[in-house]
Amino acid sequence: MSTLQEILDNLDANAPLSQPEIIRIETSAWLASEDRRLMLTGKRYYRVKNDIVDRRRLTIGDDGRLVEAHNLADNRIPHGFVRKLVDQKTGYLLSRPFVAKTEDDAYQKLLDGYFDKGFRRMLKNLGKDAINCGKAWLQVYYNEAGELSFMRLQPEECLPLWRDSAHTELAAFVRIYDFETYVAKSKRVVRRIQFWDESGMKLFEDDGMLKLIEETSHFSYVEGEMTKPMNWERLPFICFKYNDEEQPLIDLIKQQVDDYDRRKSDNANNLEDLPNSIYVVKNYNGTSGGEFRKNIAMYRVAFVDGEGGVDTISITIDTAAYQNHMEETRKNIYEFGRGVDT
């Protein structure tokens, strides 16, 4: 499969499309991609906003279809396994202070100015991004005071265009981000796309079509009254990978975490519904099949033919089977997540 850079290099021969049109097509594909979806899911589970939070308690309606049940227990219990594992890994790897050493005293003073507490805190956050999203990004730039600086980027905003299959060298880099602005008297969200390559940076605005609004070098410096554009020999973006496959933690343990959330929530529902036994009313058959199933699911009442009378059927919970399943699932989460259950 061709990379975006290869497409752009052969633009005239391949397609009657402009560079902005091709960039827009590729960025649209990235925004809808599975890789980006996993990044957002990993960050969401880190905030303990698991899928179980949006689950609804469903039951069988009159026509046999599933409908939402409003009179039954509807517990939705998320568990912070992902947050614990991510914090555990970053704490183990990146919490201890590090020191960059050199025999040159002047150079040492410069290094100490860069690798301070703020940089160490940013590095720890980069580790968190790498685990949650598979990879994290750091941008190198000069600030307005002319000082070398570093900026942590949101991984879901970054589309790398690699020069090699091992993903070690960038051919180009695309950053897609939204920001709020005011147009007339109303606030609107504008999408912007930065396209970086060895020749500089192009900034586009996307409002259905890409419009080039700025074209600059990587940075510039002032010499006397002259401002001279300069480009880095390599693109100023550094990738931090969680693993060689760039696979986020959430992709390894999401099914196990979701199963744990569901079983815990279902058990809580059963315990809450336990006092509401199912009533069996004999010698009455005035319900249809769909209504019969609805009565059992929602009202805990079953109407049947036979001699008159009312019996009850209590809800039974296999405590041992439930406990064994939960313990095994919890063990698998830490096993596949490569963490320690403290």
Q: Tell me the domain boundaries of the chain.
A: 1-32+135-241, 35-133+247-274+315-342
What phi and psi, each to the nearest 5 degrees, are found at residue 312? -125, 145
- How many CB atoms sit inside 10 A of residue 322's CB? 15
Ordered strands of the 148-153 beta sheet:
148-153, 135-142, 237-241
Q: Please state the pTM of the whole predicted model.
A: 0.84
Tokens 């183990």 belong to which residue?
A: 92
Give 38 or 292, the one with higher predicted confidence: 38
Q: What is the pLDDT of residues 208-238, one digit of tens each?
A: 788 899 999 999 888 878 889 999 999 999 9
In degrees, rounded to 5, the angle at the alpha carbon of residue 4 between the alpha carbons of residues 129 and 235 is: 55
The model's confidence at residue 323, banded by pLDDT at 50, 70 and 90, is very high
Query: Which residue type sits at 286?
Result: G
pLDDT at residue 59 tops 60:
yes
Q: What is the pLDDT of residues 64-81, one digit of tens each?
A: 788 888 878 899 999 999
